[in-house]
């Protein structure tokens, strides 16, 4: 009898041990951000209104209608006069880029931001276990990740991932790769390097769908240090709660709305189709449908379900098209579908700065306030669309404004060619007051400005009144 009892006790202890081991194992799979460094190019690379005008005027393939289109696009883009361009633009060689132009642009960023990040955190390059680099529009041999490894003399067993073609949502894809590695490897340090190479990708033709990218994209980048070391969790800034990726590449219309291709004259550029907003909305809705149950409280999900059922029932009772509803029915029927309130589970919204229309569209769909949209709008104005790194400039703005307190939850949303929508939720681990090297430190007191009006209209608005038959480019 005693042997049976001992066997039962041993089995019980073993089960408890396995449960504890499984729980303890999960604690080592968490993904934390220790620090991040956004790249701030030197002041001699700033694009003010006058210099932008000079660049446009020296693009010989443009006519009056293209000038009018560009003026409208630039004025409505939400971009200010302090954004940055690659050095090739200031040398006047954007029409004839070389491979070394793209490489030197990236290396300038690598040596600055990755170096600053490692020095500030006291981490040696030899301690890095995982390196993920995403630069969509430049692929070199050896790879850009190899150039970083060579410069910083990292270990020969470092796990390396080099991503290209992933577009503006690539940084969250990179974070997801690190998260997956952390699930099978304990006590690791990872660096994610995210940027875009603009030097070889200036479009010099006159196709309007391809000119637009010249107006939106600007130089930038970010290096992010992540870990799953339990001993470092108290030093971390953020903890990853969940991440959802949505890919609509199987849909032809979504796949074709963002393409790198050549125009009719063989000039390489980035094509943005008219159905892009529709494709983005569709991917956005599908992404939210998956992530909402993961990040919102049950009470909000139940409230939304009840309101949606009531709205659906009420609208189904309305008369068919062409027949006016009764006054009572018209008064009781909701004007539009109900919107789920993401602010019940999210404190801050970190939105990709794809353009003013993108930010405003997300604001309408999520019923966000001007306060919620301020970080993205100000980042777009100050730094422009820096592709996959833009999310981290938005996060830097929140930190510099001292908005991020312990326990707050930050929702990141990004879009990319393919077509993709990726989102994730971070929890703030400790109060963040903006470090000495925050990319916003020198400018934060000037934001938000009294107006975001672009001076292009004041300087070049006369183009709107020009006659195509008599128009000449002024000297």
User: Catalytic pick from 381, 421, 422, 424?
Assistant: 381
Q: DSSP letter for 85, please.
A: -
Is residue 248 among the annotated active site residues? no
Our answer to whether residue 271 is catalytic in this structure is no
Q: Is 247 a catalytic residue?
A: yes
At 13, which helix (H) or strand (E)? helix 2-27
Catalytic, 385? Answer yes
Catalytic site includes residue 168: yes
Task: Classify the phi-psi angles of 265: left when phi > 0, otherwise alpha if psi is within -120 to 50, otherwise beta.
Answer: alpha
Distances in whole angstroms, Cα of residue 33 to Cα of each of 149, 165, 237? 21, 25, 6
Catalytic-role residue among 206, 247, 421, 424? 247
In angstroms, the CA 414 to CA 163 distance is 17
Q: Which of 206, 214, 258, 352 is catalytic?
A: 352
Residue 406: exposed, middle, or buried by beta-carbon count in 10 A (0-12, 13-18, 19+)? exposed
Nearest Cα to Cα of residue 243 among 226, 258, 221, 255:
226
Catalytic residue among 162, 385, 422, 454, which?
Answer: 385
- Options 134, 214, 257, 348, the catalytic residue: 348
DSSP conformational letter for 169: G
How far apart are the C-alpha atoms of 192 and 34, rounded to whole Å? 12
Q: Provide Rg for the chain, Cα atoms.
A: 25
Question: Catalytic residue at 111?
Answer: no
Phi then psi for residue 130, to 5 deg, are: -135, 135
Task: List alpha helices for 41-187, DSSP H.
Answer: 49-57, 64-76, 87-90, 99-109, 115-121, 144-152, 170-184
Kindly list the catalytic residues: 168, 247, 348, 352, 381, 385
């Amino acid at each position: 009898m005693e042997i049976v009892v001992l066997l039962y006790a041993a089995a019980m202890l073993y089960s408890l041990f396995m449960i504890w081991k499984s729980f303890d194992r999960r604690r080592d799979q968490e993904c934390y951000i220790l620090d991040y460094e956004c790249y701030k190019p030197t002041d001699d690379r700033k694009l003010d209104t006058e210099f932008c005008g000079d660049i446009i005027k020296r693009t010989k393939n443009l006519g009056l209608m293209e000038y009018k289109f560009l003026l409208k696009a630039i004025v409505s883009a939400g971009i200010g006069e302090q954004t940055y361009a690659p050095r090739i633009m200031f040398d006047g060689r954007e029409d004839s880029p070389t491979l070394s132009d793209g490489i030197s642009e990236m290396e300038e960023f690598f040596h600055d931001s990755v170096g600053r990040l490692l020095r500030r955190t006291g981490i040696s390059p030899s301690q890095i276990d995982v390196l993920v680099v995403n630069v969509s529009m430049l692929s070199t041999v050896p790879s850009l990740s190899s150039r970083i490894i060579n410069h910083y003399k990292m270990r020969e067993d470092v796990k390396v991932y080099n991503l290209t073609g992933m577009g503006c949502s690539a940084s969250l894809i990179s974070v997801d790769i690190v998260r997956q590695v952390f699930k099978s490897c304990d006590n690791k340090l990872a660096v994610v390097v995210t940027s875009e190479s603009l030097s070889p990708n200036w479009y010099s033709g006159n196709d309007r769908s391809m000119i637009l990218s010249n107006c939106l994209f600007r130089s930038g980048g970010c290096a992010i240090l992540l870990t799953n070391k339990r001993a470092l969790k108290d030093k971390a800034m953020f903890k990853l709660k969940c991440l959802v990726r949505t890919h609509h590449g199987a849909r032809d219309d979504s796949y074709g709305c963002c393409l790198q291709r050549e125009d009719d004259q063989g000039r390489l550029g980035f094509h943005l189709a008219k159905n892009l907003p529709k494709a983005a909305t569709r991917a956005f809705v599908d992404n939210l449908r998956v992530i909402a149950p993961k990040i919102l409280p049950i009470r909000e999900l139940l409230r939304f379900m009840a309101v949606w059922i009531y709205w659906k029932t009420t609208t189904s009772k309305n008369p068919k098209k062409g027949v006016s509803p009764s006054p009572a029915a018209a008064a009781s029927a909701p004007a539009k579908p109900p919107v789920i309130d993401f602010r019940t589970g999210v404190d801050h919204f970190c939105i990709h700065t794809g353009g003013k229309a993108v930010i405003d569209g997300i604001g309408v769909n999520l019923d966000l306030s001007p306060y919620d949209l301020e970080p993205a709008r100000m980042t777009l104005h100050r730094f422009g669309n820096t592709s996959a790194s833009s999310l981290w400039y938005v996060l830097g703005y929140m930190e510099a404004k001292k908005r991020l307190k312990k326990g707050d939850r930050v929702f990141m949303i990004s879009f990319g060619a393919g077509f993709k929508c990726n989102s994730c939720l971070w929890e703030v681990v400790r109060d963040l007051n903006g470090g000495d090297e925050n990319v916003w430190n020198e400018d934060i007191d000037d934001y938000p400005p009294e107006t975001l009006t672009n001076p292009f209209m004041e300087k070049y608005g006369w183009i709107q009144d020009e006659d195509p038959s008599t128009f000449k480019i002024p000297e």
